Structure 1
Amino acid sequence: MPHSRPLPRLRTAPVLAVLVCHDGEPWLYPALSALRHLRLRPRHVIAVDTGSTDRTPKILADAADGPERVLDGVLTLPRGTGFGAAVRAAVQHAVQRWGDPGGWLWLLHDDCAPEPDCLAALLTVAEVSPSAALLGPLCLDWSDSRLIVEAGLSTDASGHLQTGIGPTELDWSRFHPDIDAGGTQSVGTGTSDDGGDEARFERNTEVLAVGSAGSLVRLEVWQRLGGYDPALPLLRDDLDFGWRVNQAGHLVLCVPSARLRHARAASRGLRRLDATVARPGPSRYAVARAHGLRTFLVNCSTVSFLLGVPRLAALVLLRALGFALLLRPTEARGELAALAYLAGGRARLLAGRRSRRTTITRGERNVRGLFTSRLTRLRNVVRGGLAHLVRQRVRADVALGRLPADDQHAVWLTPEDERAGYRRPVGPDALPAGAVRRGRGTRRPAGLRRPTTTVAVPVFTEGTLPAGLRPSPRPRPSPRPRGAPAQETPDLVLVEVDRWRVARQLLLAPPVLLVAGLAVVALVANAHRLGTDLAGGRLLPVPGLSATWSAYLAAWHPTSGGTGAPAPAALAVLGVLGTLLAPFGGPPAAVAVLLLGDAPLAAVSAYAATRRVRVSRPVRALVAAAYGLLPPATAAVAQGRLDAVVAHVLTPLVLAGVVAVLRPGTTAERQPSWLAPVSATALGLAVIGAFAPLVYLVLLAVALVGFVAVPGRPGDGRRRVIALFAMVLLPVALLLPWPAVVLQHPGVVLHGVGAQPAGSPAAGPGLLALQPGGPGAVPLLGALVVVAALLALVLRPTPAALPGVAVALLGVLATAAVWAVPAVPLTGGDARYGWTGAPLLVVGAGLLWSVLAACGRGVRGRLLPSGPAVRRLVAGLGALAVLAMALGGAVAGRQGPLRTGGGVRPPAPITADLAGGGRSVLVLAAGGEPSRQAAGRMPAFGDDDLAPVPGFAERTEQLRGALTEGGSRARVALGYLAAADVAFLVMPDAASADRLGAAAPDAVSAAGVTSDGRPVLRLLLTGRQVVLLGPELAERARGGAGGQPPAEPNAAGIAPVDAALPDLALHVSGGPAGRLLVLAAEEESGWSAMVDGRPTPTVTAWAHLVAVPLPATASEVRIDYPASLRDVLLLVQAAAALFTVLTAVPGRPRSAR
């Protein structure tokens, strides 16, 4: 583009330059050197030091001394002086010293370095634009001058600073052969019509404001407006001044031909904001937010002010709440501090608005186009999100060696090319023909330029990057030569982003195809199970949200005759998930999502867990799909085994967390916090331990072996020890008080959590093919995974496969234990073998880990060549294997007992009676299911994981035999059931119901059938949760006169009491001595009784129920089941959960320096 006017060649110009310094030693030498090498120098240069405590005063004194001095004087002001006050002091000093210091004022920071033609370019534009009173240069990044950081300023209606510049906006003219950095362009307010990226930073633009660093302002306008607002000592003072210049009728221009490097030390937090030590400071975010809000409110119109005050107050509160929920306390506190700054009167809003009335000559309507509209901000957010995804992907590719060599939308640009003087087309012109869509010209967004569609990604490469991008036209095998020194300036990868390419890549991305494919498989396999009321197999009906939390927090449970055993931690997990899914059904919806979406969820988990592996995305997706379709997983879904499903979904993430703790990854300038992966891994271990304790122990063993086998980096000893203890102890604290039950009943480790149906051990040969037994899996289909792992280890051996082999071996040991050792279930009864599916999932994860390691870049084959044809053949075979697993899972997954419908349901009147009266129902064993007793409802999820009182299982089995056989024993059994407040019996079949009805026709009556056809009988005997026995029955209940409860309807000596367990308070009237208050609760330690305020020991009634002796006089009786220890343990659990969740959220990476 031809220059509109040549640059002046004068040695000096009528300009007063003010250099404000504050602890600027790291940047001051380059800044002074840049002033010394200006092609056109200011007439006077004054430095102002605001109380620096480093070597800044010495550097300034040296620069102001000698014949080659750069500075004409140095002023020293207090440390709390703001930028505007420092400039005012320098201007006053210059007027007193020289009279006329010049017609222009050039503002400079100690962390900015103007290019030689910067001042000349600004003055040239000012000469051809007489109405321009404030001009600003194009600000470039201090460490990488190829990147633009500022090209004018704007704001939105919420007081947020807007620059229109992305994190990696490229200065195209630096590399374009036809653009001279010192050239000038004609003044305008638009952009080029061709839509090219280069033109976006060639044309001078009218903006709302420019940054203070390098800004050139007419001294007359500065003095008439009073300079920067004293109420804004730092941050947003430049935005306020530019707004006032616009309202005064002058132009504010951004001049891209004038360039300046800027470190932005204050805005990036590289130094303290000592001028804002009072509130809302010294927090940088709080100061910026408060000053941004004040700038908007004091400069906007009256209507905008009146509406903006309540609107912004509400917005600030909502943002503070949002930041708090996102665990970003600094921003949350900053929002509240900004609100306090405005509401407390320190902002002086009315005084600020009055001071601006005298200078306004241009209405708001004339500057409205310079603001950033909501639509533009939304558009920029979307573009910024897409650019962030592109940057993250490119950086991950570079770091892991997965960078494609033939990406037609990417160009590699290295610093060596720039230093060598090599100029080639970059940006859209460098992309292949057709890569950039040519359409209508672009329009400038309101206030600022529209961000470019080409994303520049700075990347640091180390040593050898296999098959890197080749910068045309000179191919090179690697962007960095082997053995090159440490790279100070990053390479740039330029990626063209347009809506069609983004949509295409998003829709065809491997994870999207992975989720879509496995979602189809899951839909086909579970088409007859769609719903949130799943039950069957090992899954009992899941209660609602309130019932789930009540069952978990209760100290005593009316299940299995009543027990004070701790509830399983799985109920807490379902409660948390149900709370998140409360609008969609609560815990039942959460269980349905886990079971029906197991395959895609586990596959996504595996794909995310392998993000650090140097393997291409399609291969990762293929291996993740194989993991999601493992035969034990499809069988677990079909059989309703929620414990195995949870372990299936979380195992890859936990393994990845263990690896991240053992070998934390770092980048050239950032290093992540080690606490976040430790806490996240501990949380995953705890969730797995709540459902599948055996898998939890296996993964914990993997972590312990890893800590021993994997050497740490120098200086990591303390961190590794703390991480080890955290990974061991945190899950235990998160599971309290459930671990006590596991220690008392080791069978839980082998059986896991869930209903305990009868089953037979899997066949040995089937285990070799990952076949756990039962419906839901195609026999021998899992052998494909085993064969693939063996071939990978033999044909492409690599040390990276050893961790997978170790995981698989530990899984094999756990599988052998389950297969060979029978264990007594938590509900009691005979010892039985567990289900091998859960440990087989660990075996499958280890085998697929080995396969993935063998597919890594740089692994050389031993017996097969590594050419493209072989890779395509192996990929095709792998795809066929995964396809076979998908077809097998879709077909076999339709089998199994899991169904929708809510499980076994009694007739509606019985459901209402149970819920209203709180009485119990006894479901007798049938079809391999054990007998279950529950109060107020039918048996539900978690009942089989509550440890019953010793002897309950044997006693219930004896009663079941008597009830199903009929005869005289059946009537006695009915008496015991009535004493335990059993109101309904669910018989196993019609024949047994007929026999019981014939044995005791006056004690039971038919009450309908359940949803699966089993008959239901109503007991007609007297019974309640609490009954009062007369002296004769009391003596009998305590073991005298036969010791059997009455089995006749309306038996004398029994008085039902209207009370509910476990805590009750009664007033008992006077009566004969020897009375007994009997509770329908199994006798166990922990019950407490008070009669007339005096502790009274409990006794046993009917050989297994809790009873309290009563005096003959009227008395006040209080009975409860205290849970002080459990409450303490729950508080410890809550504290551990809060700590783990807060620390598991990854924070911003901290600097490695």
Structure 2
Amino acid sequence: MVCHDGEEWLRLALSALRRSTPRPRHVVAVDTGSADGTAKLLAASEDVVDGVLKLERSASFGDAVAAAVRYGVERWGDPGGWLWLLHDDCAPEPHCLGILLTAAELSPSAGVLGPVAHAWDEPRLIVGAGLSTDASGHRQTGIGTGEWVRANQIEQSSEVLAVPSAGLLVRRELWERLGGFDSEVPGVFDDIDFGWRANRSGAVALCVPAARIRHAGAGRVDNIRARSNGVRTFLVNTGLFSFLVGVPRLTVLCLLRALGFLLLRRISRAHAEIAAVGRLLGGRMGLLRARRERRGLGQTGSVRGLFTSRFTRLRNMFRAAVTHLVRKRLEADVALGQAPETVWTPPAETQRPIGPDALPAGALGRAGRRKAAGLRRPPSAVTVSVPAAKGPKGRRPSPRPRPSPVPRDGRPVPEPEVLLVEVDRGRVLKQILLAPPLLLVLGLVAVGLAVNWTRLSLSLTGGRLLPVSDVWTEYLSAWHAVSGGTASPAPTALAVLGILGGQVGLLLIGDMPLAGLSAYIATRKMGVRRGVRAVIAGLYALLPPAVAAVSQGRLDAVVVHILVPLVVSGIVSVLTGATRSWLSAAAGSSLGLAVIGAFSPLVHLVILLCALAGFVLVGGQRGDGKRRGAALFAIVLLPLALLLPWPAVLIQNPAIVLHGVGGWVPYTSDFGSVVLALVVGVVAVVGLVAQPGRGSLPGLGLLVLGLGAVAVVRFMPMAPVSGGAPQQGWLGTPLIVVGWGLLWALAGATLKARPAMAIGATALIVLAGGAFMLGRGGPLTTGDTVRLGTTPARELAETGRGVLVLSRGDQPARQAAGRMPQFGDDDLVPVASARARILRWDNDFRSDVPDVARAAVASAAAAGVLFVVMPDQASGTRLQATAGDLVAGTTSTSDGRPVFRLQPAAGRAVLLAPELAKQAVTGGIPPTALGVGGIVPVDAGPPEVAVRVSDGSDGRLLVIAAAEEPGWRAEVNGRQVPVVRAWGNLVGVAVPARASDVRVEYSSSLRAFLLLIQGAALLFTLLTAIPGRRVQAPPSMASGSTLR
């Protein structure tokens, strides 16, 4: 018996030895420098202990056992044929040793045997049995935390790779032949290493479930030592090929695991992985020497089938996930006062094995193949923490007493109680399959697929959704070839879509289930049954404004619909202190709020106002001011850093705040959506009036702010950034916030489950029917709505010149270069002169006056436009008649619009002769006739143009097809020269008569700096948002838990 600071358990362990039948022939206790009363207890136990050895405190378990064996041989000569190893915190049952010896007699090939270890204070909880390892060097037991196995479930002894050292019975001859435990793996993995060597020597390791010990498991596990020893154990005992492949494989695996643990902020585990790599590559594991020693022992046995395979690990992970779900479900029931009733169930009579199956493993010799290692069975019970009982109901004392760490009346601190609940597998499967969240998601997926059946695709366009492509290129560029060229920062929404891979179809088609799941998760901390939560989440997912947003391609409203419940719930939990990991919750809420702000700045402001109001109105706990202040600081300022440099654009252009991000379409009223939205309003109001509660106040506050946002959008029309008359924004986005405020308030009311679910189910049916009527229509469709023919599209991409798409219906005129207009173009603020020029072109290209039309063609060609897309055949025929030879017809677009190629000599950059240069800078118009000389296209384009001009006439001008604005910089032979305007609003640079190097570029240093800040803020937020690991100790005497 090895003892190390085990006074708390040693008394009971010695008492168990006194009751053991048979009694061990000799008991040797080894005290490894205990600093408590262990030595006194051993000295007073002469009736049990035959000898006491004292070693240094640094001695390992293997060193202690080796010293005890030497002592026994020296003192008694032949102390016996078996060694039984015990810890000071384990107490064997009276018949444990006898059962192990009987199993050894029935299995002559068994050399190592071990009992099943049960929890110290609860014999139904198994904490240890047969051991195994995997190809990565991890200790595998097949038993999850808090699992319970009935005694009559496990009767047959099983062959395993190893057994735990606590209670291990080993033949002394085998122990001496193998040299005992390896001193290079002290404390951790010594039992697995010894069992592996025993199996390779021809012996059998058996786990005997009929033999039991109670084990407190008080020893501390060093992560660094455990990981290093696991890697070493695998590499020194495995075959040659596995060793050669395993060294680089485990090195890479440990580094990847270290990176993952660092991201999860589990620093100690990451340190253990890195330390294992350091020991492995530094040669400190002594692998070659250890492998030579093992070859000298002989290898007559096999360990095939005794390892934990990848399939078994996946199965164990799945079982652990199911157990976690069951435990969470039972904890929720207990929190709602619905704990399972205490019922005694008589044990079922099991069919005893007969024939060869009745013999223990190893009785018939070594098996050729084994299918499993250790115990492999699903748990039949889980442990659930029961909260401490609250005091009697009644009026609270005034003033309210301050919290105290201990009871003021001197009573002992109540210990946490653990409820042991037996679980029926069929019932678990039934509850999982019929769980409200699963039914909610499946139902919403079915409704969403049925509504969007005609538009099932990852590539969707129409309405406010323009084609999405090359989002990262557009977002990172300082200058955009849109609307004649602009240096306006791109919306942060492009970066969000870039992270998602540009798959907007997933967001639109999956809006209903994602929003429903978001709402369900957001109400998890409310004292409401899961069925009621699922109904509320379903009502939110089917909100008519959200259904209309999908059919109209309003990506901003869809993002708001999905994220608002989670973000608002996270902010509330941070401000009220409802979560321990407040920093990760604040970072996660800030990240979600930044995503909302990237698409809908108005909703961002509404949520910020809600957070500020909550900070002022909701009082925190005593001493909680710094935490709440830091959380509010993060929620307010961190999203702004994540959105850089987009907030500056919003301040200068408040129209984007009201209209949101996306292609511009004029406002249209949705009468059907308003009527169906009244259904949600009526249900919520009825529930709030019938069963009011204080939990409804946060939702009502969000409702008031949402109504304020509706009023702002309705009564403050603004012109879009692309130009045009002021128009009011779409009311659906703030109405989604109003809808969530109503439903959130409804979830906080004291609702009765059955009436609420009945009324809610009726409303769900009505809203689902309305979704079919509203959602199946709309402009959203698969593929690109307007697509150039193959030849024009290829020429456009090769030349990088522009295309001008004239307005048609509710779509405004757009200009882009190298491609067709796409998502985000309408949110790039154009230069004022370029905006007016596009509006003028939109009228002049339709003109019946030839001079006007030809001037428009010449002006557009000088600005870099190569193709113009007319709205219809009539306007195309008119343009061909008025412009004459300045235009040439080409392949029509995918929707039948006529396309014309502009014939005048032009390019992205041209060099003008002195006569045309003078005309360009004095307000003239480009030549309206073909064949005019003095225009030389240059093979370069904005935003960086570097050319070398030859000798020529004085007064030449280099014109760049980009709107002139602050930030353009020009150099001639390394000397900065002024930038002039050409043809009204293009960038021009005067070129000297001699040969010169001309360089024109747009400065983007400030944007690069802001993007660097944004990236740093994003990295900080992501790392901070990862919640820390919750440490939950299993119920045992060490943790002081009480089971019932």
Does the pair score TM above 0.5?
A: yes
Q: Is the contact between residue 641 and residue 1014 of structure 2 (CA under 8 Å) also seen in structure 1?
A: yes
Q: Is the contact between residue 949 and residue 998 of structure 2 (CA under 8 Å) also seen in structure 1?
A: yes
Separation of aligned partners in 2, 1:597 and 1:244: 55
Separation of aligned partners in 1, 2:311 and 2:161: 18
Select which of 387, 409, 425 maps to 2:345.
425
1:446 and 2:372 equivalent?
yes
Separation of aligned partners in 2, 1:707 and 1:821: 29
- Residues 311/93 of structure 1: CA separation in 2 closer, same or farther (3 Å cut): closer
Select which of 779, 784, 790 maps to 2:685.
790
1:153 and 2:127 equivalent?
no
Unmatched runs of 5 consecutive residues or more in structure 1: 1-17, 174-197, 274-283, 406-410, 414-423, 431-439, 467-482, 579-586, 667-671, 761-772, 861-865
1:942 and 2:827 equivalent?
no
Separation of aligned partners in 2, 1:64 and 1:1107: 97
Write out per-residue CA displacement over residues 1033-1082 of structure 1, whole angstroms, 9 at most, x where no aligned residue.
2222222xx52222222222221111121112111111111111111111
CA apart distance, 1:244: 2.8
- Look up the equivalent residue of 1:735 and give its one-letter code: L
Separation of aligned partners in 1, 2:277 and 2:585: 35
CA apart distance, 1:655: 1.7
CA apart distance, 1:309: 3.1
- Look up the equivalent residue of 2:509 and give its one-letter code: L
Separation of aligned partners in 1, 2:996 and 2:77: 103
Select which of 389, 410, 413 maps to 1:463.
389
- Residues 1059/791 of structure 1: CA separation in 2 closer, same or farther (3 Å cut): same
Select which of 183, 187, 194 maps to 1:234.
187
- Look up the equivalent residue of 2:529 and give its one-letter code: S
Write out per-residue CA displacement over residues 139-171 of structure 1, whole angstroms, 9 at most, x where no aligned residue.
123464431111122234554333232323325
1:1063 and 2:944 equivalent?
yes
CA apart distance, 1:243: 2.8
Q: Aligned ranges for residues 128-139 of structure 1 at < 5 Å?
A: 132-139=110-117
CA apart distance, 1:874: 4.3
Q: Aligned ranges for residues 142-221 of structure 1 at < 5 Å?
A: 142=120, 144-173=122-151, 198-200=152-154, 202-221=155-174
Q: Is the contact between residue 19 and residue 109 of structure 1 (CA under 8 Å) also seen in structure 2?
A: yes
CA apart distance, 1:1144: 1.7
- Residues 373/1077 of structure 1: CA separation in 2 closer, same or farther (3 Å cut): closer
- Residues 895/1094 of structure 1: CA separation in 2 closer, same or farther (3 Å cut): same
Separation of aligned partners in 2, 1:684 and 1:95: 70
What's 1:1101 paired with? 982
1:963 and 2:840 equivalent?
no
1:509 and 2:399 equivalent?
no
Write out per-residue CA displacement over residues 85-109 of structure 1, whole angstroms, 9 at most, x where no aligned residue.
2322343345556666565444333
What's 2:398 paired with? none
CA apart distance, 1:495: 0.8
- Residues 109/1092 of structure 1: CA separation in 2 closer, same or farther (3 Å cut): same
Which structure would you say has the larger RCO, counting Cα contacts within 8 Å and 6 or more residues apart? 2
CA-atom RMSD in angstroms: 3.2
1:716 and 2:639 equivalent?
no
What's 2:613 paired with? 705
Q: Is the contact between residue 243 and residue 299 of structure 1 (CA under 8 Å) also seen in structure 2?
A: yes
Separation of aligned partners in 1, 2:818 and 2:756: 59
- Residues 531/154 of structure 1: CA separation in 2 closer, same or farther (3 Å cut): closer
What's 1:1023 paired with? 906
Deviates more, 1:334-343 or 1:223-232: 334-343
- Residues 748/400 of structure 1: CA separation in 2 closer, same or farther (3 Å cut): farther
- Residues 591/628 of structure 1: CA separation in 2 closer, same or farther (3 Å cut): same
- Look up the equivalent residue of 2:764 and give its one-letter code: V
Separation of aligned partners in 2, 1:386 and 1:963: 67
- Look up the equivalent residue of 1:1105 and give its one-letter code: L
What's 2:397 paired with? none
Q: Aligned ranges for residues 644-723 of structure 1 at < 5 Å?
A: 644-665=557-578, 672-723=580-631
What's 1:305 paired with? 240
Q: Is the contact between residue 136 and residue 253 of structure 1 (CA under 8 Å) also seen in structure 2?
A: yes
What's 1:280 paired with? none
CA apart distance, 1:33: 3.6
Write out per-residue CA displacement over residues 157-194 of structure 1, whole angstroms, 9 at most, x where no aligned residue.
55433323232332534xxxxxxxxxxxxxxxxxxxxx
Q: Partner of 1:353: helix, strand, or coil?
A: helix
Q: Partner of 1:1071: helix, strand, or coil?
A: coil
1:1144 and 2:1021 equivalent?
no
What's 2:249 paired with? 314
Write out per-residue CA displacement over residues 498-550 of structure 1, whole angstroms, 9 at most, x where no aligned residue.
5xx5654444332232222222222232222222332221111112xxx2111
Q: Partner of 1:490: helix, strand, or coil?
A: strand
Write out per-residue CA displacement over residues 696-747 of structure 1, whole angstroms, 9 at most, x where no aligned residue.
1111222222222333234432222211111111111111111111111111
Q: Partner of 1:1002: helix, strand, or coil?
A: helix
Q: Is the contact between residue 778 and residue 889 of structure 1 (CA under 8 Å) also seen in structure 2?
A: no
CA apart distance, 1:690: 0.5
Q: Partner of 1:463: helix, strand, or coil?
A: coil
- Look up the equivalent residue of 2:241 and give its one-letter code: L
Write out per-residue CA displacement over residues 1124-1150 of structure 1, whole angstroms, 9 at most, x where no aligned residue.
111111111111111222222223115
Select which of 520, 524, 527 maps to 1:611.
524
CA apart distance, 1:819: 0.6
- Look up the equivalent residue of 2:450 and give its one-letter code: V
- Residues 369/961 of structure 1: CA separation in 2 closer, same or farther (3 Å cut): closer
- Residues 145/704 of structure 1: CA separation in 2 closer, same or farther (3 Å cut): farther
Q: Is the contact between residue 249 and residue 360 of structure 1 (CA under 8 Å) also seen in structure 2?
A: no
- Residues 1073/822 of structure 1: CA separation in 2 closer, same or farther (3 Å cut): same
Separation of aligned partners in 2, 1:997 and 1:248: 94
Write out per-residue CA displacement over residues 192-239 of structure 1, whole angstroms, 9 at most, x where no aligned residue.
xxxxxx240x44444332211232334444333321012211211011
Q: Is the contact between residue 663 and residue 712 of structure 1 (CA under 8 Å) also seen in structure 2?
A: yes
Q: Aligned ranges for residues 298-697 of structure 1 at < 5 Å?
A: 298-300=236-238, 304-311=239-246, 313-314=248-249, 317-318=252-253, 320-321=255-256, 324-325=259-260, 327-328=263-264, 331=269, 334-335=272-273, 337-360=275-298, 362-364=300-302, 367-368=303-304, 370-373=306-309, 375-401=311-337, 412=342, 424-425=344-345, 446-463=372-389, 486-498=414-426, 504-543=430-469, 547-578=470-501, 587=502, 590-665=503-578, 672-697=580-605
What's 1:843 paired with? 738
1:263 and 2:216 equivalent?
yes
Unmatched runs of 5 consecutive residues or more in structure 2: 351-356, 362-369, 393-410, 1034-1038, 1040-1044
What's 2:863 paired with? 980
Q: Partner of 1:1135: helix, strand, or coil?
A: helix
Q: Is the contact between residue 544 and residue 673 of structure 2 (CA under 8 Å) also seen in structure 1?
A: yes
Q: Partner of 2:675: helix, strand, or coil?
A: coil
Q: TM-score, normalised by structure 1?
A: 0.81
Deviates more, 1:96-105 or 1:922-931: 96-105
Q: Partner of 1:595: helix, strand, or coil?
A: helix
Write out per-residue CA displacement over residues 371-418 of structure 1, whole angstroms, 9 at most, x where no aligned residue.
445554444343333333322332333345566x6xxxxx757xxxxx
CA apart distance, 1:800: 0.9
What's 2:2 paired with? 19
Deviates more, 1:618-627 or 1:42-51: 42-51
What's 2:1011 paired with? 1130
- Residues 723/426 of structure 1: CA separation in 2 closer, same or farther (3 Å cut): farther
Write out per-residue CA displacement over residues 1017-1039 of structure 1, whole angstroms, 9 at most, x where no aligned residue.
22222211111111122222222
CA apart distance, 1:801: 1.1
- Residues 251/1103 of structure 1: CA separation in 2 closer, same or farther (3 Å cut): closer
Q: Partner of 1:828: helix, strand, or coil?
A: coil
Deviates more, 1:1052-1061 or 1:151-160: 151-160
Q: Partner of 1:782: helix, strand, or coil?
A: helix
1:728 and 2:636 equivalent?
yes
Q: Partner of 2:919: helix, strand, or coil?
A: helix
1:740 and 2:676 equivalent?
no
Separation of aligned partners in 2, 1:360 and 1:907: 76
What's 1:806 paired with? 701
What's 2:366 paired with? none
What's 1:827 paired with? 722
- Look up the equivalent residue of 2:425 and give its one-letter code: V
- Look up the equivalent residue of 1:60 and give its one-letter code: T
Separation of aligned partners in 2, 1:392 and 1:803: 26
What's 2:353 paired with? none
Q: Partner of 2:888: helix, strand, or coil?
A: strand
Q: Partner of 1:845: helix, strand, or coil?
A: helix
